[in-house]
Amino acid sequence: MHLLQRPRTLKDELQILFLAVGSAFLVLATVLLYQNGQASLRRQLVASASSAAETASALISLEDHRSLRTPADVTSRPFRNIVQSLGALRRANPDIVHLFTIAPIGELGAWGIVVDMGGSAPVREEANLVGGRLPIGSRPPASLPASLIRAGMAGTTADILDLTNPSRARAVAVSPIVSPRGGAVGLVVVELSAAGLIEEVRLLWYVSIAIFLVGLVVSVVASNMASRWVTRPIEELLGAVDEISKGNLRARVASHHRNELGALGDAFNLMAKNLESSKTKNDEQQNLLRELHRTGSQVAATLELPRMLEIASRGIRAICGGEEAFAGAMGPRDKSVRLWTRSGPGTLDLDGWDTPVTLLEEVLGGETRLLARKEFAAAGLSMLLDRKGDYALAAPLRVSDQTLGVLVALGSRKEFHPEGISLATLFARQVSAAVGNARVFEQVRAVDRSKSEFLSIASHEVRTPLTVMKSSLDILVSSPKFEYTADQRQLIAFCQESVERLIRLVKDILDVSKIEAGVLSIQFQPTSLNDLIEKCLFWVPQLPGGQGIEVEARLPSEPAMVLADPQRIMQVLENLISNAIKFSKPGGKVTIELCEHEKEYEVIVSDQGKGIAPEDLGRIFGKFFQVADSATREQGGTGLGLAICKGIVEAHHGKIWAESALGDGSRFHFSLARVLDTPIGDRAVGEIKVDSLLSALRTASARASRIG
Ligand code: ADP
């Protein structure tokens, strides 16, 4: 039933097919068996009737038979002779239900019974038959077919099987009693009961049905097994195909058959193996390309030549293979490759390694080559002769057709990747570009350093006479010895203002050049941001415009301790607050907030001034940048303040940023790492244990001081 409900599989279909063929065969075989059996049983019955009739006719004496013509002859000797013979025959064969002889009797020559051995009741004693059932001369029973009598008269044995009436089923046979001159003088008629035959045929029917049912069961089992046998490899194949489609390329099928299915399985396994190996190759290539990309990006991400070479030596080994690898480059003022790094097991002293670029160029030109041991010296790599590898995969690092260094992977030939030369060439190109950039960067840095040095010296030289000028002007204004007209006073005030602006500008330029040269001095010490902000508030009213603006500070009650240079952080605060006041509208408000976060403190200086346009927001921390509007021009300024703030905050490993929208005021934030084990919380400022603070931060301080 379930076969009809669920979708049919190949196995189901084969099973149905096998079952149908098997059942048809079974039906045919059963029918044949039954019919043959039945025919054979019938033949046997008829044959035994015929043979009984023949035996009987042979037992009867012709003379005896001839002498019996009237009913009175039943007492005669011949009659008893015949009865005796036929009685013995009848007793020997219990299936005989009727046995009689007939012969032409009387003037008309009509056939009449001569000896009748009685009906179905068995004959035990011949004496019981005296007189017989029918008197001599009686007509033969109407049930005896005339065709049989005719055949018997013609001298042949004949028989019929009559099963029309099951209660009287019988086989009848006649056998002639032949005279020596030929021709039948009488016939023996034997009627055998076919009841046994019917029983046997019924039994045969049951046996056939039983054989059919057993055959049916066997054929169900056999069809199941046969369909499984055929479909199992196909199911396995389908399962394996499914696995492969899910990405499991290791799926294989077991080879059960030595036929087309087996061949299909083998072909599938071969295909899966090829697929797996090409996937493995593909994965390897992808990994290599990823490594190439990753290492290439790492190389490009640094401008420090030694670090770059270190990454390159690891990269060339990872990409191309080999026991160990080296990356060498010329320093900015060198004429040969002297800066070497190595990747591989163990350590090696690379001091004194010196490869003339001319030799590298002679042997390699611009190409990557696999050098045999005997070529090492010619390429200037004789130091590699002490190493184990027999081959060196050498890729020159070239910038603008000039060799600046070399990448070398060293090992036995089989240790290198088959695509080693092209991979090394690709990688060397990336490293070459990075080495070129590093050289340019080094040159730019050298120029920048000398510029900063120059600015530093020049500013210093300019500041001294400016300070002298400022002091002189101060004396001129404050000394009672000198009398001035109002115009003269005005002129001196102009001079004072200009000198102050110049001093500020020089100081800012000096700071910027120190920041850029990385020589800004920072004296780290535990510092309370609250104190610095409070100090700032103290001098705010003295700032230009400071009187008309309300300044509010929102500070936590606990001191916000950071490790910082108080003078420099003051400088940042002053700059941000003075900018906020400078760009506020009259009557505006400036707020200074100090917020505590998990790892840092954040200071926010906000105003309600003109705000900054989004396109300028990203540029205000650059050098000499000022928003191009009339309000900014009115305020003067150098455009260096925020650049200095950024430099100072970053030198403290902090962050500085701004948020603003035109007309909506500005918010300037900077954050500094908080001193995590500072015993803040509910303690007052005076209770801070500076010693414990210092010890906890000694390492950080030492590292950060290097910046100053
Ligand atoms: P300076 O103030 O000397 O011009 P800064 O580097 O301090 O130089 O500021 C750069 C520019 O950023 C200023 O010229 C101004 O245009 C803009 N700016 C700075 N602070 C604010 C502020 N609070 N509101 C509006 N604009 C500001």
Contact 285, 380 (CB under 8 A): no
For residue 646, report the distance from its CA to the centre of ligand 1, in Å. Answer: 13
pLDDT band at 634 (very low <50, low <70, confident <90, very high): low
For residue 467, report the distance from its CA to the centre of ligand 1, in Å. Answer: 26
Cβ of residue 574 lying under 6 Å from some atom of ligand 1: no
Of 579, 589, 634, best ligand 1 pocket probe by most atoms within 8 Å of the beta carbon? 579
Phi-psi region of 192 (alpha: psi -120 to 50; beta: other; left: phi over 0): beta
- pLDDT (tens digit, 9 = 90+) per residue, 250-308? 888 887 777 887 888 888 889 999 999 999 888 888 888 898 899 999 999 998 899 99
For residue 603, report the distance from its CA to the centre of ligand 1, in Å. Answer: 18
The predicted structure's pLDDT at residue 223: 86
Least confident piece of the model among 163-172, 292-301, 375-384, 556-565: 163-172
Q: Is the pLDDT of residue 206 over 90?
A: yes
Contact 529, 603 (CB under 8 A): yes
Cβ of residue 632 lying under 6 Å from some atom of ligand 1: yes
- H or E element: which one contains 33? helix 10-59
Of 621, 642, 659, 667, best ligand 1 pocket probe by most atoms within 8 Å of the beta carbon? 642
- H or E element: which one contains 42? helix 10-59
Q: Which atom of ligand 1 is nearest to the CA of 621?
A: 6
Cβ of residue 627 lying under 6 Å from some atom of ligand 1: yes
Mean pLDDT of 614-623: 90
Token look-up 């006073």 returns 489
The predicted structure's pLDDT at residue 681: 38
Burial of 308: CB neighbours in 10 Å, binned 0-12, 13-18, 19+: buried
Cβ of residue 609 lying under 6 Å from some atom of ligand 1: yes
- H or E element: which one contains 511? helix 486-517
Distance of CA 55 to the CA centre of its chain: 93
Q: Is the pLDDT of residue 690 over 60?
A: no
**Nearest alpha carbon, ligand 1 atom 8:** 639
Contact 149, 158 (CB under 8 A): no
CA–CA gap between residue 247 and residue 245 (Å, rounded): 5
Phi-psi region of 111 (alpha: psi -120 to 50; beta: other; left: phi over 0): beta
The number of CA neighbours under 13 Å toward the Cβ of 360 is 30
For residue 639, report the distance from its CA to the centre of ligand 1, in Å. Answer: 7
Do the bridges between strand 600-606 and strand 666-673 make them parallel or antiparallel, or are there none, so unpaired? antiparallel
Give the torsion sign (CA, 6, 10, 11, 17): positive
For residue 559, report the distance from its CA to the centre of ligand 1, in Å. Answer: 29
The predicted structure's pLDDT at residue 633: 64
- pLDDT (tens digit, 9 = 90+) per residue, 510-535? 888 888 777 788 889 999 999 999 99
Cβ of residue 620 lying under 6 Å from some atom of ligand 1: yes
The predicted structure's pLDDT at residue 259: 80
Q: Beta partners for 393? A: 370, 409
CA–CA gap between residue 428 and residue 319 (Å, rounded): 11
Contact 30, 211 (CB under 8 A): yes
The predicted structure's pLDDT at residue 444: 85
pLDDT band at 631 (very low <50, low <70, confident <90, very high): low
For residue 540, report the distance from its CA to the centre of ligand 1, in Å. Answer: 17
Q: How far is CA 528 from CA 29, 352, 534, in A?
A: 111, 52, 10
For residue 620, report the distance from its CA to the centre of ligand 1, in Å. Answer: 7
pLDDT band at 418 (very low <50, low <70, confident <90, very high): confident
The two structure tokens encoding residue 426: 């690709």
Crossing angle, helix 305-320 and helix 260-300, to 10 degrees?
Answer: 170
Distance of CA 423 to the CA centre of its chain: 29
More confidently predicted of 646 and 545? 646
Cβ of residue 240 lying under 6 Å from some atom of ligand 1: no
Contact 584, 610 (CB under 8 A): no
Q: Is the pLDDT of residue 3 over 80?
A: no
CA–CA gap between residue 276 and residue 342 (Å, rounded): 36
Average pLDDT, the chain: 84
Q: Is the pLDDT of residue 536 over 70?
A: yes
For 202-241, give the DSSP string: HHHHHHHHHHHHHHHHHHHHHHHHHHHHHHHHHHHHHHHH
For residue 550, report the distance from its CA to the centre of ligand 1, in Å. Answer: 19
For residue 577, report the distance from its CA to the centre of ligand 1, in Å. Answer: 11
**Nearest alpha carbon, ligand 1 atom 25:** 611
- Listed in order, strand segments (DSSP E) in 267-381 are 324-329, 336-337, 339-343, 355-356, 369-372
The predicted structure's pLDDT at residue 687: 32
The predicted structure's pLDDT at residue 341: 95
Q: Which atom of ligand 1 is nearest to the CA of 626?
A: 14
The predicted structure's pLDDT at residue 449: 78
Of 575, 620, 660, 670, best ligand 1 pocket probe by most atoms within 8 Å of the beta carbon? 620
For residue 626, report the distance from its CA to the centre of ligand 1, in Å. Answer: 6
The predicted structure's pLDDT at residue 376: 94
- Listed in order, strand segments (DSSP E) in 529-627 are 550-554, 561-564, 589-596, 600-606
Distance of CA 540 to the CA centre of its chain: 67
Contact 166, 198 (CB under 8 A): yes
Could you tell me which of 437, 433, 370, 427 has the C-alpha nearest to residue 398?
A: 433
The predicted structure's pLDDT at residue 5: 59
Q: How many CB atoms lie under 10 A from the CB of residue 523? A: 11
Contact 560, 596 (CB under 8 A): yes
The predicted structure's pLDDT at residue 495: 92
pLDDT band at 679 (very low <50, low <70, confident <90, very high): very low
The predicted structure's pLDDT at residue 646: 94
Cβ of residue 208 lying under 6 Å from some atom of ligand 1: no
Q: Beta partners for 190? A: 99, 173
CA–CA gap between residue 241 and residue 272 (Å, rounded): 9
CA–CA gap between residue 290 and residue 295 (Å, rounded): 8
More confidently predicted of 374 and 121? 374
Least confident piece of the model among 127-136, 325-334, 555-564, 594-603: 127-136
For residue 104, report the distance from its CA to the centre of ligand 1, in Å. Answer: 159
Amino acid at 401: D
Contact 646, 656 (CB under 8 A): yes
Percent of the chain whose predicted confidence (pLDDT) is above 70: 90
Give the torsion sign (CA, 275, 278, 284, 285): negative
- H or E element: which one contains 614? helix 614-617
Q: Is the pLDDT of residue 315 over 90?
A: yes
The predicted structure's pLDDT at residue 701: 36
Q: Which atom of ligand 1 is nearest to the CA of 610?
A: 25
Cβ of residue 588 lying under 6 Å from some atom of ligand 1: no
Of 591, 626, 659, best ligand 1 pocket probe by most atoms within 8 Å of the beta carbon? 626
**Helix/strand/coil for 397:** strand
Q: Is the pLDDT of residue 108 over 80?
A: no
The number of CA neighbours under 13 Å toward the Cβ of 535 is 14
